[in-house]
Structure 1
Amino acid sequence: MWRQPKTVWSVAFACVIAFMGIGLVDPILKPIADDLGASASQVSLLFTSYMAVMGVAMLITGWVSSRAGAKRTLLLGLLVIIVGAGLAGAQDSVGGIVAFRAVWGLGNALFIATALATIVSAARGSVGQAIILYEAALGVGIAAGPLLGGWLGGHSWRWPFWGVSALMLIAFVAIIATLPATPPTGRRSSISAPLRALSHRGLLTVGLTALLYNFGFFTLLAFTPFPLAMGAHQVGLIFFGWGLLLAFTSVVVAPRLQRRFGTLPGIIGALLGFAVILAVMAIGTEHKPVLVVGVILAGAFLGINNTLITETVMKVSPVERGVASAAYSFVRFGGGAIAPYLAGKLGERSVHVPFWVGSGAVVLAVLVLLTARREVQATDTEHGHGTQATTEERDLEAEAVTVGDA
């Protein structure tokens, strides 16, 4: 799995940088609020605009890539991120940062919606191994984002934005140099296809499960830095530990749990474990050691859930997997858009309430998922699960698969 051509590694490197954007702003949320005189809910809009635009943009990514080809779509996404991240760091108001984080979200949608298909197409080994490689890049990016944000944010909250812009420029050059031309192939995708795909009960249910789960995820990510009340370096290190554990369980632990217990029990166990951690953080919000340990341990459950639910989305419905993934992402990012602002607003009344709401939403996600337990259980018996794919199967997967989990 690790002996891959240069194309795979250049795209994987760009994936690492792209997924840094999720946790990069964690360590600098409080510094931005202090410097610009903003409230927690106002600063949380950095997540809201990013996720909202990314979710809506997922509806058009298949339409763009099926007409422009994978390489052009990747480069367009990277270019938009370079501009959005760079200009976000140059703003003097929260509104300006929020606006260019939205631009950044558009670029991220175009990029990550094409990156997995490119990795699957170019990688050696099975499709399952290619997905694990992609998840590894995702995990490293999520882990490295808070560390980079904390290190650069210790100098100025502007530097993390400029750092991502510079790293994306390197990735842009690397993809130009290593990725061969990829003209459009196959049938052109319709903009309405992802919305029509949501008529499938299993896909819609998994999407709603992820939407509710994201209420807990982004409460942890966007609100915890405020009750922690620590410097950018310290917050960055805490979320770095969270990201490392997330990366480890997503790549190593999740496949083993899936083989031993099955997909549905694995997802339910991960969600319930995460809900318990949020509840403990709600009780002990005023004790920083509780928050620190809770954040880091949450990474273990989030990594397991991310891997298992990503694979479920790719198998649960009969529609093309690219269409299914776009539809799923459109729904789930709704939770990522609403939760940060809601957590900030609730936190202005009581620092305990956001964690209670997040925990309750994750428990509700389990109940929603159970309504489609037959469809989810059926994914474990799909042909090719954990097996070596043929060249023809890999080519079909590469045309279909577009996006993994964040």
Structure 2
Amino acid sequence: MTRVCKGAGEIQLFPFLPIADYRLRNTPKPELVQMTYTPAETRYDTMPYRYCGRSGLKLPAISLGLWHNFGHDFGHQNKRDICRKAFDLGITHFDLANNYGPPPGSAEEAFGEILRTDFAGYRDELIISSKAGYRMWPGPYGEFGSRKYLISSCDQSLKRMGVDYVDIFYSHRFDPDTPLEETMGALDHIVRSGRALYVGISSYNSQRTREAVAILNDLGTPCIIHQPSYNMLNRWIETDGLTDTLDELGVGSIAFTPLAQGMLTKKYLKGVPQDSRAAQGKSLAPDWLTPKMIENLNGLNDIAAARGQTLAQMAIAWVLREQRITTALIGASKPEQVEDCAGAVENLEFSADELAAIDALSQGGDVNIWAKSSSD
């Protein structure tokens, strides 16, 4: 069967191709791709998947974020190894943003290359998300929540990754100077134009979340997910009432920084290492790592050991307790860290005594570098 297409002053004939196995659709030509990776056949055996709010979309209990370690300051082979390990463990959701790098945009470019090589043919098994809201380019149209910025940024993200659409596109932060109707209208347009399947918001407080969800519901493009910062040392979503609001509205959630920028790992149990984010001033203030905080972190580590978990595993399990959080968003600098974090799903239950002991050691830390954006 052929299709007739008029173009360039002549009739051109293009054959219809039979529908093949979905893994063959949109696969680059063999001569352009070195196929060196086959996903583990067991990748869906142990990872739990949870419905995202009242939508039909399921997300893995653990998702991989590409905020750190996917820019030009990190080797590409290591990026590939991290993504491969994640997918082998059933982590199907890869979370990006336009400004991830450094430089901005480079994380999406790197992931686009991984899609063309390692994940070629597996697009339909993946959930890819991106966002726009923080500064991306100079001038008045390069940040926040205007229709111009969000749609332009989404188009650029699609080009960098080499995809036709993303599964989820977020408003990365609330814009106090742009009407919320305009920001949500842009998200609605992004879905209706085929650029994204779903939309979400990030770091909006409870009041702004209610307003945004109401607008999107009226437009017919429901908000299915909220991405707030949340961990043992940063509980703003509890005090703000956001957790209850999301439950009431039927919106899913993906908690970023469940490890408090690495504080809830073994890295800082003996102080501040020279190669750490805190020592280098990368998104973690050394002032938070007081002698008392380090003492408390060691106490939390003891609780984790008694549970048969690493501190990182317990911190992730704590975020996922009671299933009020849909998925925990981790970052990694090597594949072994992904494997350690994925082990958290083996024990997501906590006794009342464990929760009380964790509360005594963790509350009052207030490790929230997004406090301003999440309170606007």
Fold similarity call, TM over 0.5: no
| TM bin (shorter chain) | under 0.3
Q: Scaled by the length of structure 2, what TM-score is found? A: 0.27
Task: Choose between structure 1 and 2 for higher RCO, CA contacts under 8 A separated by at least 6 residues.
Answer: 1
- Is the radius of gyration larger for structure 1 or structure 2? 2
- Larger relative strand fraction: 2
- Larger relative helix fraction: 1
